[in-house]
Structure 1
Amino acid sequence: MASVANCSRRLLARSSTGLVQILPVRPRAASLAAGLIAARPAPTQNSTPATSTSSFSTSAAAQAKTVQHVRSGKKTQVSSKKKKKFAPRGKAISPGERKAFRKRIVLSNNNALAVPGLEELSQGEATAANAGRIMALPDAVVDQLRAIEAFKPTQNFKLFRRPSLLVRSETAELTERMQREVTQEKKTLRIVVDGERLSGKSTMLQQAMAHGFLNDFLVFHVPEGHEVTTACTEYAAIPGSDPVQYIQANYTHRILLAALAANSELLGKFKTARAHDQLANPVAAGSTLRDLVNSAKEPDHAWPVFQALMTELLDAETSLPRPPLMFTADGLAHLMRISDYRNAAYERIHSHDLVLVRFIVDALGGATKFPHGAAIIAATTYGNAPNNPTLDLALAQRRAEQKAAESSSKPTPDPYFRGYDERVAAAMRTVEVLPIKGVSKTETRALLEYWAASGVLRQRVDERAVLSSWTLSGNGVVGELERALLLSLQV
């Protein structure tokens, strides 16, 4: 196009004389890049001379330092901040350390004041004469209760100098019946402790176990019912059993070791009446019951040893002395449902098909006979419990029967509900229910005075304070009373 324009100018340009003059040809730019370079101003003396490039070079824009690609409408800023150096945070938390801290059991506080005049609980003192009093647990009993895992992390023993318990009217009634019916009359006491949430059901179990240790009961305890039925421990089918039964070797071994640690001195006083040669570690006749329990060296030996121990303790024909037994379990609703375990067909296993649970249920329901006396006590829980309409109905029926109510007011099953469990209903048909309610005003005053003497409660304890605390806690619910007055002191 530039050449055509030059030709037209030469042809059209005329002088005044009318002759056509030939104009010189205008030089054309070799390329756009060369034109841009030519249009640049001359560099100053201090500036760096531009790099000479060919007009056809493809790296001209890359070599030209002043030419940069800038996005329109946005400025790119390069941060001059340096990266922060890694600050060491100390030793990393070990696996399971948080769980151990959350589940730790603290039973004393050296910063708390020693309560003057505090008496220790001894044999035969948890009676109606001492109802409404705070009594300290002896150190030996504390060690035994700790060995069988009777204490819970949610309890507030860590705020006081030493673990102490309130002797309630229900406690006095229960211990008196244990002393009369079990120790003297050699009967079997089968009780379910029931009450609303935070009413002190687990503490009632602790008081019953403390009375058992002080009166030479052989105590076995299941601290949490959900640990047996929520598929968190190993299990295996018993060969040849029909219907198929399942053993939990590790958990049974744990129960035996806990019972051995808590009742070691008592087990050493009684002898075996027969030889147990079928065990992996045979035990001769005349050995102590402690030697029999010690023969469970591995979890695989636990269930045969447990059966051999129960054979010795439940033998009605032996002439050897035998101690009264106590079986306690917390979280009864978990033992009265279909468990989370699966059989070979991937069907859920009923909890009563687990032999350890079956033994406790048979003892509670009356199917197992205890010729030397026994106390079978289970407690319900509502903080961590599955929905169990069969158990709720059975407990309501037992409470109505104990009140001698008319048959028309006795609860009946819903005819349109098909989720009732007949096995659970049969096991709970003859048990006795011990209802736990709030403490009385006298017992509330005893608690407040003990807390004030320990330096925990910083307010005046008078009739007005007792009445207001009793009312705000739902008519004396112990857990709510602790929430209202001790919650700010928990760490």
Structure 2
Amino acid sequence: MSAPNSLRCLLRPSAAVPRQIAAATWTPSPWIAPFSTTPGAGKAGTTPKKNVPKPKAAAPRGVGMNPTGKKQSMKKFKKAQGAKTAKPPLPGERKAMRKRIQLSNNNALPVEGLAELEPGTMLNPKNIGTMAALPGAMQDNLRSLEAFKATQFWPMFRQPATLIRSETVDLMNRMQSAASKKETLRLVVTGERITGKSLLLLQSMAYGLQNDWVVINIPEAQELTTACTEYAPIPDTDPVQYMQNNYCLKMIQAIRKANASVLSKITTAYSHPELPQNIPINSTLLALANAAKEPESAWVVFQALWKELMRKGAARPPVLFTLDGLPHIMKVSDYRSPAFELIHSQDLALVRLFSDVLSGATSLPNGGAVLAATTRGNAPRSPSMDLALAQREAEQAGTELPKPEPYFKGYDLRSEEVLKTVSVMKLKGLSKVEARGLMEYWAASGIFRATVDEKAVAAKWALSAGVVGEMERVNLLTMHP
């Protein structure tokens, strides 16, 4: 027997020793080290340790672990959803619903003794504090011009009516004076939120339509500057200007619908060979406006129509040009040039046309007015506009002019030039006489149920500080549809 086998026999006893006895009688030798400096895999006669499983990652949300260690989804415990059978909205349907204008409510009571608006109603100071209903034909024309706002309280009454304020009488008399003297009234309507700036523009448009003016309106100036409509450079312009054909076509259609009775009485005095169709001399301006059928020709037709309206004499009517949202055109627009540089709002052709009339660079030869209203709800910050309007107010009041901040570099000189010589009308709260007339109209319509007396008027007027929008919130908020 070899030596290794002999040693192995000594280590392995021939008879099996019970496990508990061996564990009880065996004692470790004091000469055996409790550790070894040799790797276990390198020892002869030993086996490598088994791989220890790694800890599993945390289960994702909604997936649990059952007792067997398998992933368990919670989907089978969720309530089954039925099949979607609703028809998705068509393109533009949501926007149309959001901008929908409702001007009547059959559930409201008819107001007895409510007089309709006439051409001279808003000129008489005796009518301050009274309500006047808008005639049906005028409602269609104002709707075409987008003079109504979806945030106004028109759906709560039997028919739309407007409150004649002291500012209304003042503005209409100034418009009449400018038309009679063949001058141009250049005015900016400003004020805090919900003080009635847009409604004052509506009243001016109503006055212009009833007195045979040509009314042009830009209802939301942000549609011209927020890069939401198509644009293209105008050839042979230095600096380069940009036309917005789709918006131009929409504007011409609104002008044609709202001013059809006036445009059908005026004939053309120039030949316009650049038009897509032949419009001979002595054709009506309504026929000229009808030549705009495609966006590609809209800007050319608008230029021809504007040229005809700007012809001095020849029985041309006064022109009213209004814009709501003045801060949007007093800054750099969101459009980009071919070099990917931002385009200033004054380089957009329609904005440039309005700004030239507002600044006085272009006058209305047959008289008229250009009105712009500021907005405080979604308006961008325009330090140049705020400074210019504050300076114009100080000039009108005869006080010291506010000065620009010496270390501020955010002023826009082009915007300041537009507002350098304009007039400013700042709207404030209603007087108690005007507030009482408005509350009596609400009570006659069945909306305001309390008794309208001096105590109630004083309480509501003090609570709202006379602001017309706040009065509507105080009295009609719970009745808003």
Matched, 1:170 2:164: no
Partner of 1:360: 354
Query: 1: distance between equivalents of 2:380 and 2:332?
Result: 10
Measure how far apart 1:329 and its partner are.
0.2
Partner of 1:249: 245
Query: 2: distance between equivalents of 1:315 and 1:338?
Result: 32
**Cα distance 1:466–1:286, how it changes in 2: closer, same or farther (>3 A)?**
same
Measure how far apart 1:173 and its partner are.
0.7
Partner of 2:370: 376
Partner of 1:345: 339
The 3-state SS of whatever aligns with 2:426 is: strand
Query: 2: distance between equivalents of 1:216 and 1:77?
Result: 73
Partner of 1:441: 432
Query: 1: distance between equivalents of 2:408 and 2:349?
Result: 29
Match of 1:185 among 181, 186, 199: 181
Match of 1:481 among 467, 471, 478: 471
Query: 1: distance between equivalents of 2:96 and 2:345?
Result: 28
Match of 2:279 among 257, 279, 283: 283
Measure how far apart 1:178 and its partner are.
1.2
What is the RMSD computed on CA atoms of the aligned residues? 2.3
Counterpart contact for 1:237–1:246, Cα < 8 Å = yes
Measure how far apart 1:281 and its partner are.
1.4
The 3-state SS of whatever aligns with 2:405 is: coil
The 3-state SS of whatever aligns with 2:215 is: strand
Q: How many residues align?
A: 422
- Percentage of matched positions with identical amino acids: 52
**Cα distance 1:167–1:87, how it changes in 2: closer, same or farther (>3 A)?**
same
Query: 2: distance between equivalents of 1:77 and 1:126?
Result: 72
Match of 2:452 among 447, 451, 461: 461
Query: 1: distance between equivalents of 2:151 and 2:222?
Result: 17
**Cα distance 1:412–1:79, how it changes in 2: closer, same or farther (>3 A)?**
closer
Within-5 A mapping of 1:33-72? 71=67
**Which amino acid is 1:177 matched to?**
R
Matched, 1:314 2:281: no
Partner of 1:105: 101
Measure how far apart 1:91 and its partner are.
3.2
**Cα distance 1:86–1:286, how it changes in 2: closer, same or farther (>3 A)?**
same
Counterpart contact for 2:178–2:368, Cα < 8 Å = no
Query: 2: distance between equivalents of 1:478 and 1:82?
Result: 51
Partner of 1:157: 154
* Gap regions ≥5 residues in structure 1: 10-69
> Which protein shows a greater Rg?
1
Partner of 1:472: 463
Partner of 2:441: 450
**Which amino acid is 1:482 matched to?**
E
Matched, 1:327 2:321: yes
Partner of 1:139: 136
Q: What is the TM-score with the length of structure 1 in the denominator?
A: 0.82
The 3-state SS of whatever aligns with 1:155 is: coil
Matched, 1:200 2:196: yes
Residues 402-422 of structure 1, C-alpha deviations (whole Å, 9 max, x = no match): 1122xxx21111111111111
Measure how far apart 1:398 and its partner are.
0.4
Partner of 1:300: 296
**Which amino acid is 1:455 matched to?**
G
Partner of 1:428: 419
Counterpart contact for 1:337–1:424, Cα < 8 Å = yes
Partner of 2:226: 230
Q: What is the TM-score with the length of structure 2 in the denominator?
A: 0.84
**Cα distance 1:113–1:420, how it changes in 2: closer, same or farther (>3 A)?**
same
Counterpart contact for 1:213–1:219, Cα < 8 Å = yes
**Which amino acid is 1:165 matched to?**
T
Partner of 1:57: none
Measure how far apart 1:288 and its partner are.
0.3
Measure how far apart 1:179 and its partner are.
1.5
Measure how far apart 1:90 and its partner are.
3.7
Counterpart contact for 2:178–2:369, Cα < 8 Å = no
Query: 2: distance between equivalents of 1:79 and 1:445?
Result: 62
Measure how far apart 1:303 and its partner are.
1.1
Residues 88-122 of structure 1, C-alpha deviations (whole Å, 9 max, x = no match): 55433334333222211111100000000000001
Shifted more, 78-87 versus 436-445: the winner is 78-87
* Gap regions ≥5 residues in structure 2: 1-11, 17-65
**Cα distance 1:113–1:277, how it changes in 2: closer, same or farther (>3 A)?**
same
Counterpart contact for 2:189–2:374, Cα < 8 Å = yes
**Which amino acid is 2:162 matched to?**
L
Counterpart contact for 1:277–1:284, Cα < 8 Å = no
**Cα distance 1:415–1:112, how it changes in 2: closer, same or farther (>3 A)?**
same
**Which amino acid is 1:459 matched to?**
A
**Which amino acid is 1:437 matched to?**
K
**Cα distance 1:469–1:300, how it changes in 2: closer, same or farther (>3 A)?**
same
Query: 2: distance between equivalents of 1:191 and 1:74?
Result: 76
The 3-state SS of whatever aligns with 2:333 is: strand
Measure how far apart 1:278 and its partner are.
1.9
**Cα distance 1:415–1:7, how it changes in 2: closer, same or farther (>3 A)?**
closer
Measure how far apart 1:378 and its partner are.
0.5
**Which amino acid is 2:309 matched to?**
L
**Cα distance 1:91–1:462, how it changes in 2: closer, same or farther (>3 A)?**
same
Residues 376-412 of structure 1, C-alpha deviations (whole Å, 9 max, x = no match): 011000001000000000000000111122xxx2111
Measure how far apart 1:341 and its partner are.
0.5
**Cα distance 1:473–1:308, how it changes in 2: closer, same or farther (>3 A)?**
same
Residues 76-96 of structure 1, C-alpha deviations (whole Å, 9 max, x = no match): 999998974625554333343
**Cα distance 1:75–1:444, how it changes in 2: closer, same or farther (>3 A)?**
closer
Matched, 1:124 2:120: yes
The 3-state SS of whatever aligns with 1:383 is: coil
**Cα distance 1:246–1:72, how it changes in 2: closer, same or farther (>3 A)?**
closer
Query: 1: distance between equivalents of 2:69 and 2:317?
Result: 91
Residues 168-204 of structure 1, C-alpha deviations (whole Å, 9 max, x = no match): 000011111111221x211111110011111000000
Query: 2: distance between equivalents of 1:417 and 1:275?
Result: 51
